[in-house]
Amino acid sequence: MGQLNSGAAVVAFGGGPSRVVNQTFCSLVLHLQKSKAKRIYSPKFGLRGLLDEKNPQVFDLSKQPKDLLNKIAQQPGAISGTARRKLNEEKGEPEKLVELLKKNDVRYLYLIGGDDTASVCLQLQRAAQARNYELATFHLAKTIDNDLEGHHHTPGFPSAALFVAHAVQGIEADNRSTGGIQFVICMGKDAGYLSAAASLAKYKEDDGPHAFFLPEQKYSSLQHFLDSLVSKIEEIYSKLGRALVIVSEGIGITVSSNQSTKRVPLLKYILESKGESVVGDNFGGISLSRGTSLGDFLVNAVKSKIKADVRSTTLGYPQRSFPLIYSELDAQDAWLVGKEAVNYTLDGFEEGSVALLEPGAITKTTLLPLVMVGIRKREMPQEYLSPDGCLLNVPLFKEYAVPLIGKKVLPAPLVELVPAYYSFKT
């Protein structure tokens, strides 16, 4: 293998879209075309389309024009559709899909997504090996959560982080104007990177955000979390007369059972304790950003303890694919991942996750084992955190994040944007 003319290639999306994911997709397709791939296919709605549809729609990308692909690369979202679709091993779905690929002479599989997508790549690789079918299987990183093991950063995160920084700066202007307590709920099921990105809107000590509650913090019970939350907000509110608090959707309660511990997302913990159903996907995740339940819970919990105007905003899905805000480096890195996936194939590699290294003059990549990326998740380093749930070292986080985003496109200090925030002379 490695010549790309020994069989067809399939390119598919998995998980949520992002502002730059089409950069990876189109780069991959263009470089496959250039390398004389026999055929290039992309199923509508990813593997869900192949497995769940009676008559799956498959796009033939072999002769799509270069100028069209370059235009598509600039737009947000996943051009051929995406879905979260775990392969059910008890029902033999990995084997079923491998047989489908074999029937159509597919020898190269490229899935663009996060850790769940990497785990699907691992399932298919193992199923193909068990059937002695040569299938080169590559995972191409994409997740705004920035939580892939071994990856310095992932395409999609810098642009989403930039959106969060701008959105939170607007919310900070509102909170500074009106006072009171304002929660902002950010995406991030397992890592706090995107929530921490709200700190990029912060310039002076009393600028919001004033506190961060992240998945990496451990709370032994709901009461432990609420005590920490209320205590920190009371401290900020008594000092400033207002508080802007960032909460990650993945904030959770650490539950111990059968000599093991796991973090249960707070929203799931609350709903299940009340006997209510939890909407989830087949990877075990729950739909945290589809409504305002978490924000409503936080508002009611704090209102019962602090006499103040308390509000919440859930940033939700605009974080993923907002068209007008993106990082140029993010777009370049996303394109690089597609190109490098083809290069690794041509070099004779047969599996792996294409990972970005720390950016320099030119960002470089490495190829990580699927078993590493598809099973473990990466959290933020503990040195970014403090025991009370606040981001401890904003300058340290900025050292990591600003090079990925670009200093010129970060929100300006509020006093540069809104002169009304100059203080009156007394």
Q: Mind telling me the catalytic residues? A: 145
Which of 87, 85, 86, 97 minimizes the C-alpha distance to 131?
97
Paired strand residues for 353: 139, 368
Angle, helix 66-73 to helix 21-34, in steps of 10 degrees: 160
Given a contact cutoff of 8 angstroms between Cβ atoms, the answer to whether 46 and 142 are in contact is no
Q: How far apart are CA 142 and CA 149, in angstroms?
A: 12
Is the peptide bond prior to 43 cis by the omega test (within 30 degrees of 0)? Answer: no
Task: Collect contacts of 166-169 with beta carbons under 8 A, ≥24 apart.
Answer: 166/201, 166/325, 166/411, 167/315, 167/318, 168/198, 168/201, 168/208, 168/209, 168/244, 168/246, 169/201, 169/411, 169/414, 169/417
Q: How far apart are CA 107 and CA 6, in angstroms?
A: 7
Given a contact cutoff of 8 angstroms between Cβ atoms, the answer to whether 152 and 213 are in contact is no
Q: How many helices (H) and strands (E) does the chain have?
A: 15, 13
Here the tokens at position 37 are 């791939």
Measured between alpha carbons, how far apart are the two ends of the chain, in Å?
Answer: 76
Here the tokens at position 145 are 């959560």
Burial 161-187 (b: 16+ CB within 10 A, else e): bbbbbbbbbebbbebbeeebbbbbbbb
**Alpha-carbon 94 to chain mean position:** 25
